[in-house]
Amino acid sequence: MNVVVVNNFDRMSEEVAKIMQTQISRKPESVLGLATGSSPLCVYRLLGEYHERGLDFSQLTTFNLDEYVGLAPDHPQSYRYYMEENLFSKVNVNKAKTFVPNGVAEDLEEECRRYEDLIKQAGGIDLQILGIGTNAHIGFNEPGTEFGTITQVVDLAPSTIADNSRFFDSPEEVPTQAISMGIKSIMKAKNIVLMANGGSKADAIAAAVKGPVTTKVPASVLQLHPSVTFVVDQAAASKL
Ligand code: F6R
């Protein structure tokens, strides 16, 4: 596990954006795994700038980690909407090759199977980008999730609902379930980059990097992956 400690959020974002730029330049038809939330916001802004300077996204395939159950793609808090707003509309990605689970599918179990199959058909993920929850979740794989899980419907932990209520008008509006790629789906990616900033992530980062590998700390499973880089700012690294 490679841990890169940088000064602040901006440097973290530059570091991650550069890793993605290198991946896209080396292999324009890469399959990227993408995250939402506040951590990658500036990464996506930088990718938009790289595109203006010539970086070509047209051959990429992308898979997002998760989507809220019950939010349609045009809901402003849905992750499909987030991706359109923050990345897809800023670069020349082929929209038909951008995948986000459908949180309003009639048959959610079938949607999970379909999503996992799509990843397989695309040849697997070359580079997976992750954030981390304050409870050390990756994707929406909350503490206690078995390491063998693939894409499934998950119940969000109370702490996740509380953390994510900042994006909604009230905590009651935060969906209580999501479709999330599983731990096994994430671990199959060839390369993984996890980013974290701020003191609220310090305990999760310390447990993930230094603690025992346990389902109580979902991100600790990454210690078992052959190619993982954590890019963390000083505040998030403060308990390492
Ligand atoms: C988002 C996701 C989550 C977030 C995590 C951190 O698609 O899967 O695991 O990465 O909750 O969120 P932020 O970046 O908002 O602190």
Domain residue extents for the chain: 2-233
CB 32 within 8 A of CB 60: yes
| Predicted TM-score (pTM) of this structure | 0.98
Determine the 3-state secondary structure of 224 from DSSP. helix
Tell me if residue 137 is catalytic.
yes
Tell me if residue 117 is catalytic.
no
Other beta carbons less than 10 A from residue 200's beta carbon: 13
In this prediction, residue 93 carries a pLDDT of: 98
C-alpha distances (whole Å) from 52 to each of 90, 92, 129 are 9, 10, 22
Catalytic residue among 135, 164, 191, 197, which?
135
Instruction: Please report which helix (H) or strand (E) contains residue 230, including its range.
Output: strand 228-233
Tell me if residue 142 is catalytic.
yes
Cα gap 89→83, rounded to integer Å? 8
In this prediction, residue 222 carries a pLDDT of: 98
99-148 confidence digits (pLDDT tens): 999 999 999 999 999 999 999 999 999 999 999 999 999 999 999 999 99
Distance (Å) from CA 138 to ligand 1 centroid? 7
Cα gap 122→30, rounded to integer Å? 9
DSSP string over 138-199? BTTB-TT--TT--SEEEEPPHHHHHHHGGGSSSGGGS-SEEEE--HHHHHTSSEEEEEE-SG
Tell me if residue 75 is catalytic.
no
Mutate to test the pocket of ligand 1, among 81, 129, 138 (most ligand atoms within 8 A of CB): 138
- Give the closest residue to 140 by CA, choosing from 107, 108, 177: 177
CATH-assigned architecture of domain 2-233: 3-Layer(aba) Sandwich (3.40)
In this prediction, residue 171 carries a pLDDT of: 87
Distance (Å) from CA 182 to ligand 1 centroid? 14
Ligand 1 atom closest to the CA of 34, numbered from 1: 7
Task: Using DSSP bridges, classify how beta strands 177-180 and 66-68 pair: parallel, antiparallel or unpaired.
Answer: antiparallel
Cα gap 204→237, rounded to integer Å? 10
Catalytic residue among 15, 51, 64, 66, which?
66
Cα gap 4→197, rounded to integer Å? 12
Q: What is the pLDDT along the chain (240 residues), one digit of tens a residue?
A: 999 999 999 999 999 999 999 999 999 999 999 999 999 999 999 999 999 999 999 999 999 999 999 999 999 999 999 999 999 999 999 999 999 999 999 999 999 999 999 999 999 999 999 999 999 999 999 999 999 999 999 999 999 999 999 999 988 999 999 999 999 999 999 999 999 999 999 999 999 999 999 999 999 999 999 999 999 999 999 999
Output the average pLDDT for the chain: 98
CB 193 within 8 A of CB 130: yes
User: Which residues form the pocket of ligand 1, taking CB atoms under 6 Å from any ligand atom?
Assistant: 35-39, 65-66, 131-133, 137-140
